């Protein structure tokens, strides 16, 4: 009986000890939770590092998007530990090892340089990356001149296109609609070599900055020629009959616009026709050629000359075009335009290039436009461009310039 009591006492003591230990643990946990509670800390917009980019590049790949990424991170830990965590202790990264061309959701890894801290959450947990292969492609560059030369100068034959190599992600290379190099010749009066950057555009007219060209710039020879309007003189050979008054001899046009090197043009005071006798011109209008000095050419190669012993009647014509029918080219989509002209019409006078013809133009044959390339907000005076069939020549345009104001479009 005594032995049984001793055993029961020992069991009771053991249970008390276990209970005391459990109570002590609970009490310790309670005290600790009150003294050093669990806390969270949030770091917003932590930059995400891109790891193993060298592998991407070695496989001739490029990350198209996103160019950079950020993540919001929530960390959890005891207050004594969490209070020591700084932003620089937290590193977010994605690993590109083993990835290829395509679209992938890559998990974000979080590393915390602190003890007893866990990542409670991260947003987002993955990032969608688009990876593309790099390609190269030979493409044509359109060479375009902009601006107005100095007065009395015109462009010679400028190369219209060139070919370059385009490099970049396939997505962007395939989206190229055109390559353009713009040569600004404003106020130029001498032949020169100019360098122009190559710009890639998509079908919407937006610049594609993610591609590069080899070379990046094109050097273009720009021949600039002087122009001059010179009198045309009949070269009469043989005797002039008494019944012919030399004052009645006529040629149309009686002047011509020529172009050439300044040193040559400056020496020319007149252009002669080929030799002709009075009898060849008597009582009729005869088409006749002119003699151009070496290094000189006509600005308009289609001009025809007619001579006669009597005055020549010309078929001059004038057409009026409403200002609001002028077409606008290359208006930046950010702007809207408004004409500031007081007159409601423009007037164009013209003649057939061949004085012997009696052809005429209709309103539908005439196209009026202005080029608004690279014009910013504000008021501008823009040269009027008139297009008519090639067999006619323009005598006068009134006015020659159109005033236009560009304003930013209103946002609704």
What does the alpha-carbon distance between residue 410 and residue 396 come to, in Å, rounded to a whole number? 38
Interstrand relation of 178-184 and 126-146 (parallel, antiparallel or unpaired): parallel
Mean pLDDT by 10 residues, the chain (412 residues): 53 66 63 71 94 92 92 92 90 93 94 90 94 95 91 89 94 94 92 93 91 94 94 91 85 93 92 93 91 92 90 88 89 85 85 86 89 88 90 89 86 57
Which alpha helices (H) appear in 46-175, and where do they start and end? Answer: 53-58, 79-82, 170-174
Cβ atoms of 249 and 236 within 8 Å: the answer is yes
Give 108's DSSP letter. P
Tokens of 171: 């997505």
Output phi, psi for 29, to 5 deg. Answer: -65, -40
At 93 the pLDDT is: 95
- 38-124 has which fold? RNA Polymerase Alpha Subunit; Chain A, domain 2 (2.170.120)
* 342-380 pLDDT per residue, tens: 778 899 999 888 888 888 888 889 999 999 888 888 999
Residues 6+ apart with CB under 8 A from 398: 346, 347
What does the alpha-carbon distance between residue 17 and residue 256 come to, in Å, rounded to a whole number? 123
| 38-124 and 317-408 share one fold | yes
Which alpha helices (H) appear in 132-201, and where do they start and end? Answer: 170-174
- 317-408 has which fold? RNA Polymerase Alpha Subunit; Chain A, domain 2 (2.170.120)
Residue tagged 């340089």 (tokens): 113
Residues 6+ apart with CB under 8 A from 300: 257, 353, 393
DSSP H or E stretch at residue 317: strand 317-322
DSSP H or E stretch at residue 300: none
Cβ atoms of 251 and 307 within 8 Å: the answer is yes
Q: So where are the chain's domains?
A: 1-35, 38-124, 133-222, 226-308, 317-408
At 407 the three-state DSSP class reads strand
Assign domain 226-308 to its CATH architecture: Beta Complex (2.170)
* 249-281 pLDDT per residue, tens: 999 999 999 999 999 999 999 999 999 999 999
Q: Distance of CA 259 to CAs 119, 157, 230, 365, Å? A: 79, 12, 10, 28
Cβ atoms of 116 and 137 within 8 Å: the answer is no
Superfamily grouping for domain 133-222: YbbR-like domain (2.170.120.40)
Helices (H) and strands (E) in the chain, counts: 6, 31
At 324 the pLDDT is: 87
- Residues 219, 222, 228, CA angle at the centre, nearest 5°? 175
At 219 the pLDDT is: 93
What does the alpha-carbon distance between residue 224 and residue 148 come to, in Å, rounded to a whole number? 12
At 71 the pLDDT is: 95
At 338 the pLDDT is: 87
The pTM (predicted TM-score) of the whole model is 0.62
Question: Measured in whole angstroms, how far is the alpha carbon of residue 101 from the centre of its chain?
Answer: 29
Cβ atoms of 390 and 352 within 8 Å: the answer is no
């Amino acid at each position: 009986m005594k032995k049984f009591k001793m055993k029961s006492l020992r069991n009771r003591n053991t249970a008390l000890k276990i209970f005391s230990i459990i109570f002590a643990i609970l009490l310790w946990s309670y005290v600790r939770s009150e003294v050093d509670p669990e806390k969270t800390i949030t770091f917003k917009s932590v930059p995400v590092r891109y790891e193993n980019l060298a592998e991407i590049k070695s496989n001739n790949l490029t990350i198209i998007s996103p160019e950079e990424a950020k993540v919001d991170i929530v960390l959890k830990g005891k207050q004594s530990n969490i209070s020591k965590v700084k932003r620089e202790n937290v590193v977010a990264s994605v690993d590109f090892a083993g990835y290829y061309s395509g679209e992938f959701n890559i998990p974000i890894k979080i590393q915390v340089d602190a003890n007893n801290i866990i990542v409670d959450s991260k947003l987002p947990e993955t990032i969608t990356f688009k990876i593309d292969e790099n390609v190269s492609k030979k493409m044509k560059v359109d060479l375009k001149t902009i601006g107005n030369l100095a007065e009395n100068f015109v462009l010679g034959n400028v190369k219209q296109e060139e070919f370059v190599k385009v490099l970049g992600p396939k997505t962007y290379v395939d989206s190229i609609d055109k390559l353009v190099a713009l040569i600004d010749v404003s106020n130029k009066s001498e032949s020169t070599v100019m360098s122009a950057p190559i710009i890639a555009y998509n079908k919407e007219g937006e610049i594609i900055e993610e591609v590069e060209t080899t070379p990046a710039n094109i050097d273009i020879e720009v021949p600039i020629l002087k122009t001059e309007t010179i009198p045309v003189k009949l070269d009469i050979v043989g005797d002039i009959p008494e019944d012919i008054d030399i004052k009645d001899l006529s040629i149309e046009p009686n002047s011509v616009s020529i172009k050439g090197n300044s040193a040559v043009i400056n020496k020319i005071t007149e252009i002669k026709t080929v030799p002709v006798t009075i009898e060849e011109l008597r009582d009729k209008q005869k088409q006749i050629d002119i003699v151009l000095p070496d290094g000189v050419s006509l600005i308009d190669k289609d001009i025809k000359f007619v001579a006669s012993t009597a005055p020549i009647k010309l078929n001059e014509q004038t057409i009026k075009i409403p200002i609001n029918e002028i077409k606008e080219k290359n208006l930046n989509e950010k702007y809207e335009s408004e004409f500031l002209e007081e007159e409601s019409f423009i007037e164009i006078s013209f003649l057939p290039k061949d004085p012997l013809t009696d052809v005429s133009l209709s309103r539908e044959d005439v196209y009026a436009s202005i080029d608004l390339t690279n014009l910013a907000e504000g008021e501008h005076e823009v040269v009027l461009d008139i297009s008519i069939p090639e067999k006619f020549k323009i005598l006068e345009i009134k006015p020659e310039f159109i005033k236009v104001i560009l304003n930013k479009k209103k946002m609704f």
